[in-house]
């Protein structure tokens, strides 16, 4: 067994909702084995308040959350990522920076709750639904025996998680 903490970067175009929620979830659900990060190709600069509502239930510190560019994580002094996971279809189709260390990458598409133009109750319900979907996939991922799997097997499992119905 390894004591390594795995760094996971979640990418979305705006980095305001899905990737932010995933960052908090993997950090809390990983119990020290995983540290989550998030970024966007075109960050909006603001974290969606409905995402913050969902995250507050995890005891993850929301005061440090911010919408940021993925360029921060391609810099030479950035933390080296072990895994990169896109959570929106737009980001999955974009040309990403070259990531130091060549982390394993996968796509886990989720509906964009920030795009809903409904009432606050409807938005809150969709954010909760997507939060639960992200939680389900992360639950599977953090339970993988990463120390015992070789790189190709881990990559296969990551992709399989992204294809699963949640």
The question of whether 96 is a catalytic residue gets the answer: yes
Extended beta strands in 41-99, E state: 83-86
- Answer yes or no: are the C-beta atoms of 130 and 122 closer than 8 Å: no
Strand order in the sheet with 6-12: 34-40, 6-12, 83-86, 104-107
Catalytic residue status for 97:
no
Q: Which residue is catalytic, options 24, 39, 52, 88?
A: 88
CB of 43 closer than 8 Å to CB of 68 = yes
Question: Which among 62, 74, 78, 96 is annotated as catalytic?
Answer: 96
Check 8, 9, 11, 12 and give the catalytic one.
12
Instruction: Determine whether 118 is an active site residue.
Output: no
Nearest to 105 by CA among 2, 6, 10, 3: 10
Q: Count CA atoms within 13 Å of residue 82 on its CB side.
A: 14
Q: Which residues are catalytic?
A: 12, 88, 96
């Amino acid at each position: 067994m390894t004591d390594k903490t795995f760094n996971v970067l979640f990418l979305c175009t705006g980095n305001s909702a899905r990737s932010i929620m995933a960052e908090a979830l993997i950090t809390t659900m990983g119990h020290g084995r995983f540290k989550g990060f998030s970024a966007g190709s075109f960050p909006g600069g603001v974290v969606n308040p409905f995402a913050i509502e969902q995250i507050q239930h995890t005891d993850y510190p929301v005061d440090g959350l911010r919408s940021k560019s993925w360029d921060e994580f391609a810099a030479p002094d950035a933390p080296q990522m072990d895994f990169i996971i896109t959570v929106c279809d737009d980001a999955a189709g974009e040309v990403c920076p070259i990531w130091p260390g060549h982390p394993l990458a996968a796509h886990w598409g989720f509906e964009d709750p920030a795009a809903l133009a409904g009432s606050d109750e409807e938005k809150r319900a969709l954010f909760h639904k997507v939060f639960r979907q992200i939680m389900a996939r992360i639950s599977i991922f953090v339970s993988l025996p990463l120390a015992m799997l070789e790189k190709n097997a881990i990559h296969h499992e990551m992709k399989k998680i992204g294809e699963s119905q949640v």
